[in-house]
Amino acid sequence: MDEPHYERGMELFSEDRLEEAIHELTLAVEADPQHADALHALSMCCYHAADYDRAIEYGERFRQLEPEDVLAFTSLSMFYQKKGMIEKAEEMGAKAKVAGFKEAIREAKEKEASRSGDVEKK
């Protein structure tokens, strides 16, 4: 994991220095292609730089690494919408809702399981 490039890229992104942020985040992703946070940040930088093709490319890579992440789908929905690919944007939006429901169910089950564990301990 190439944290210095990732951290510098995030700092530059927060300062709206998009081209520099894209450069740093690209270096982070080249060093660690599995760095999901760097891929997502890179896709968002490209989106804000109006480079929608690259935003989609990196967003899809992020989604492959995090196939249940609501953020992956909502981001891709925005990217496809800006690209004018409305049908694909709507598909990603629907998948974001499904992923959100699954996440809520998982959290509810975990909460219930932890409550059951608390009851058993008493």
Please write the tens of the pLDDT for every residue from 71-114: 999 999 999 999 999 999 999 999 999 989 888 898 888 888 88
Distances in Å between the Cα of 45 and the Cα atoms of 15, 26, 80, 114 are 11, 11, 15, 39
Query: Model-level pTM?
Result: 0.82
Q: What local confidence, expressed as pLDDT, does residue 118 receive?
A: 56
- Residues 111-121 have a mean pLDDT of 70
Q: What are the domain boundaries of the chain?
A: 3-121
Tokens 């009851």 locate to: 119
What does the pLDDT look like over 12-64, one tens digit per residue?
999 999 999 999 999 999 999 999 999 999 999 999 999 999 999 999 999 99
| Nearest one of 92, 89, 33, 83 to 58, comparing CA atoms | 33
pLDDT of residue 122: 47
Tokens of 120: 């058993």
CATH number of 3-121: 1.25.40.10
